[in-house]
């Protein structure tokens, strides 16, 4: 005990001595509190908030009045609890009504968003929503509707429209531990999603509301660019400059994703960095050509101010999406560092940007965009810190090429596990695709876009737009070529929930620490996380919420109970299995046999039945016998079931299910609700109480 106490005291003394170098760790510790909030099984209440506040006060007192060796632990305690409190506050602040049940009928609202759905349909986001027979206090603040029957409708920002739509609450995870759309929708204040097959009626043309000025400018510029550039090259260019992705087809999106170039179409740190970097260089070197100005003024700071203004305009134009705000904050912090005569690109500036992003939007922590942006940035900084020490050994003519390869390798290595965990795929040739495409973005596409914007008022944007269109066409050609190569995509099964925290914390320890023992601990965390990922087993049986689909794992992969229908659920399951099969291929594996609406599969000592359609209730009553597992689409109307029964009512309580067999042959069940917990975004009673109070 004495030896352990001495070692602890020595460690605290070392931390106290090096606390000036611990700033990069601040967002990591802050994120621990955010992670604790999102991993909780129940929504933290007032008591938790009070305890956290008391803990913060105690930490501050310890920091001010305690011994110096306790200063760092006190700050760490404050940061962890502050992360928890920030998450709680943000979750309460965004609270908005969520549709209680399915709805079919008239929907009236104002157009505040235009994009494309999973099925490649134009999709409208409406606010100021009115629903028939739904009280105003229970009407969602925002709804999102796919236009299945009117794909050619050219919506205008701010239009008041009316349509007849099928709406439902945001979907729960398609499997236990799967992607939680309910949580994403909660923070976006999206209270219902759905579709319409009927034409959209315009009730009022777009008004001059100030809150849609940016949206109107974005759509106008996007359509102007697409009118000057043909095909997907124009849609791609418009997405780069304005964030409007409604013209980008699903085929283009998949080609970019399969070639690891999807980050090019989402306005992120890369775009903001290229834009501000070009404006900074243009201003600085332009002013250097005017000797009286260059000799009297600090052109570097003038260029930084100009670049910051350009970043502000880009934020206004591209819209306040999470990725765009995050990119702006990173650029603003780095340009502010230039104004304050500090290093623009350093781990400290990245840490400050991360703290601002997480403080404003703690939910960003669990989103792939945040993880990939900051992971890539940290990897690049660390890589080029080492590059400085060896660059002189490389011939000067080769240094740009080697630096480009190093940057692609560092960023790709940092983001590959994150992309694999979220999207269940690794782009095998992504390194090559980025080597070819990113220089085109930096040297041609983004500079041409800026120049076109400057020359457009003079009517001289044509040549710059041609350069931009040519560059975009080349990037899309690279994406399609790479995506079409054999083995371009390596499917990866979904990891367990503990894998990415282990891998991420381990990688951060390696990147940020100079202590050898911490580097070894970090490497062990990464190795343990990857090992547990490789040994993970997928569920034997998956049951979709409401009983729409059932999937059984076989030697050839997961077999599905339906050839069509519930396509999003089917694709999500197969991707999470690391399986590239389409739904029809998975159905053809023939683990299920029977007639349409009544199929069965063997499951150890049980027979697993899936019954759907209008006759589901009657068929379920006939099949529900001892030794049977019956999954039915609809409600059970019989008495006490003699089988293990899952109907719409029971699945509404549990969400999607994962079923397995233990060593004695008994059925084991894991529900999506077991892992999602009782949170504001998924519990109707809890949410209603919050909104009523």
pLDDT digits (tens, 9 = 90+) for 34-50: 999 999 989 998 999 99
Q: Is the CB of residue 579 less than 8 Å from the CB of residue 569?
A: no
Which of 412-416, 476-480, 623-627 is the least confident region? 412-416
Give the mean pLDDT of 282-302: 84
Read off the tokens for 267.
């306005």
> If pLDDT is split at 50, 70 and 90, which confidence band does 30 have?
very high
- Would you say residue 128 has pLDDT above 80? yes
SS3 367: coil
- Among 95-99, 405-409, 426-430, name the most confident range: 95-99
Q: Choose between 516 and 317: higher pLDDT.
A: 516
Q: State the Cα–Cα distance between residues 145 and 168, nearest whole angstrom.
A: 10
SS3 642: coil
Residue 563: phi and psi, rounded to 5, are -80, -30
- Which pLDDT score, from 0 to 100, does residue 687 have? 66
Which of 212-216, 418-422, 620-624 is the least confident region? 212-216
- Would you say residue 407 has pLDDT above 90? no
Average pLDDT across the chain, whole number: 86
- Among 66-80, 243-257, 574-588, name the most confident range: 574-588
> If pLDDT is split at 50, 70 and 90, which confidence band does 64 have?
confident
Read off the tokens for 499.
């894998």
Is the pTM value of this prediction over 0.75?
A: yes
- Which pLDDT score, from 0 to 100, does residue 225 have? 85
- Which pLDDT score, from 0 to 100, does residue 89 have? 94
* Total length of the chain: 693
Q: Following DSSP, what letter does each residue of 202-225 receive, concatenated?
A: EEE-----GGGHHHHHHHHHHHHH
Residue 98: phi and psi, rounded to 5, are -120, 135
Q: Is the CB of residue 486 less than 8 Å from the CB of residue 250?
A: no
- Which pLDDT score, from 0 to 100, does residue 525 have? 92
Residue among 105, 102, 77, 91 at smallest CA distance from 165 = 105
Give the mean pLDDT of 405-413: 84
Name the burial class of residue 362, with classes exposed (0-12), middle (13-18) and buried (19+) by CB atoms within 10 angstroms of its CB. buried
Residue among 466, 293, 359 at smallest CA distance from 87 = 359
> If pLDDT is split at 50, 70 and 90, which confidence band does 606 have?
very high
Residue among 536, 552, 246 at smallest CA distance from 420 = 536
First-to-last alpha carbon distance for the chain, in angstroms, is: 51
HEC profile for 496-546? CCCHHHHHHHHHHHHHHCCCHHHHHHHHHHHHHHHHHHHHCCCCCEEECHH
Pairing of strands 598-603, 489-491: unpaired
| Domain annotation for the chain: domains and CATH numbers | 2-93 (no CATH), 103-207 (2.40.50.140), 219-491 (no CATH), 499-535 (no CATH), 541-661 (no CATH)
Q: State the Cα–Cα distance between residues 222 and 175, nearest whole angstrom.
A: 37
- Which pLDDT score, from 0 to 100, does residue 72 have? 81
As a whole-number percent, the residues of the chain with pLDDT over 70 amount to 92
- Would you say residue 2 has pLDDT above 60? no
Residue 557, sorted as left (phi over 0), alpha (psi -120 to 50) or beta, turns out to be left
Q: Is the CB of residue 644 less than 8 Å from the CB of residue 666?
A: no
């Amino acid at each position: 005990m004495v030896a352990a106490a001495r070692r602890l005291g020595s460690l605290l003394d070392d931390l106290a001595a090096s606390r000036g170098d611990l700033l990069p760790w601040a967002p990591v510790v802050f994120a621990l509190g955010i992670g604790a909030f999102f991993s909780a099984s129940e929504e933290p209440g007032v008591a938790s908030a009070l305890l956290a506040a008391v803990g913060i006060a105690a930490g501050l007192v310890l920091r001010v009045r305690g011994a110096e060796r306790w200063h760092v632990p006190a700050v760490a305690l404050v940061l962890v609890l502050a992360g928890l409190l920030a998450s709680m506050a943000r979750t309460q602040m965004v609270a908005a009504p969520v549709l209680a049940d399915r709805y079919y009928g008239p929907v009236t609202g104002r157009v505040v968003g235009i994009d494309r759905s999973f099925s490649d349909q134009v999709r409208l986001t409406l606010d100021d929503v009115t629903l028939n027979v739904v009280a105003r206090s229970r009407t969602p603040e925002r709804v999102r509707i796919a236009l299945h029957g009117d794909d050619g409708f050219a919506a205008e920002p701010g239009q008041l429209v009316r349509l007849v739509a099928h709406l439902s609450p945001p979907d729960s995870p398609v499997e236990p531990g799967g992607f939680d759309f309910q949580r994403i929708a909660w923070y976006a204040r999206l209270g219902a999603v759905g579709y319409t097959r009927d034409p959209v009626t315009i009730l009022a043309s777009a008004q001059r509301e100030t809150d849609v000025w940016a949206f109107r400018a974005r759509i106008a510029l996007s359509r102007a660019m697409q009118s000057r550039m043909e095909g997907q090259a124009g849609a791609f260019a418009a997405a780069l400059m304005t964030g409007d992705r409604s013209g980008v087809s699903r085929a283009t999106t998949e080609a970019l994703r399969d070639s690891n170039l999807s980050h090019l179409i989402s306005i992120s740190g890369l775009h903001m960095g290229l834009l501000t970097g070009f404006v900074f260089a243009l201003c600085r070197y332009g002013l250097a050509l005017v000797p009286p100005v260059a000799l009297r003024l600090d052109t570097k700071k003038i260029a930084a101010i100009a670049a910051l203004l350009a970043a502000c305009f880009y934020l206004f134009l591209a819209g306040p999406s999470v990725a765009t705000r995050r990119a702006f904050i990173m650029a603003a912090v780095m340009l502010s560092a230039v104004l304050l005569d500090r290093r623009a690109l350093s781990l400290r500036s990245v840490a400050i940007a991360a703290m601002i992003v997480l403080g404003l939007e703690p939910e960003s922590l669990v989103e792939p965009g945040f993880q990939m942006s900051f992971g890539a940035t940290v990897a690049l900084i660390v890589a080029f810190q080492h590059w400085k020490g060896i660059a002189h050994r490389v011939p000067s003519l080769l240094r740009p090429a080697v630096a480009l390869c190093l940057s692609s390798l560092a960023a790709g290595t940092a983001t590959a596990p994150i992309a694999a965990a979220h999207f269940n795929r690794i782009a095998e040739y992504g390194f090559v695709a980025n080597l070819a495409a990113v220089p085109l973005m930096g040297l041609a596409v983004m500079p041409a876009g800026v120049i076109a914007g400057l020359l457009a008022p003079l009517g001289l944007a044509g040549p710059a737009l041609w350069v931009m269109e040519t560059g975009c066409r080349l990037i899309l050609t690279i994406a399609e070529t790479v995506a079409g190569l054999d083995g371009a995509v390596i499917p990866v099964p979904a990891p367990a929930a503990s894998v990415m925290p282990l891998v991420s914390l381990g990688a951060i320890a390696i990147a940020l620490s100079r202590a050898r023992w911490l580097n070894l601990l970090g490497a062990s965390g990464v190795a343990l996380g990857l090992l547990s990922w490789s040994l993970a087993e997928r569920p034997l049986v998956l049951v979709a919420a409401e009983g729409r689909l059932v999937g059984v794992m076989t030697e050839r992969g997961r077999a599905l109970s339906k050839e069509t229908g519930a396509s999003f659920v089917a694709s999500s399951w197969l991707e999470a299995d690391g399986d590239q099969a389409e739904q029809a291929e998975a159905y053809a594996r023939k683990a299920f046999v029977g007639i349409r609406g009544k199929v069965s599969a063997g499951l150890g000592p049980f027979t697993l039945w899936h019954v759907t359609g209008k006759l589901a209730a009657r068929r379920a009553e006939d099949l529900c016998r001892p030794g049977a597992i019956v999954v039915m689409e609809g409600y059970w109307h019989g008495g006490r079931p003699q089988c293990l029964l899952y109907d719409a009512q029971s699945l509404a309580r549990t969400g999607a299910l994962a079923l397995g067999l233990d060593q004695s042959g008994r059925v084991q069940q894991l529900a999506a609700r077991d892992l999602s917990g009782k949170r504001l975004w998924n519990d109707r009673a809890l949410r209603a109480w919050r909104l009523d109070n």
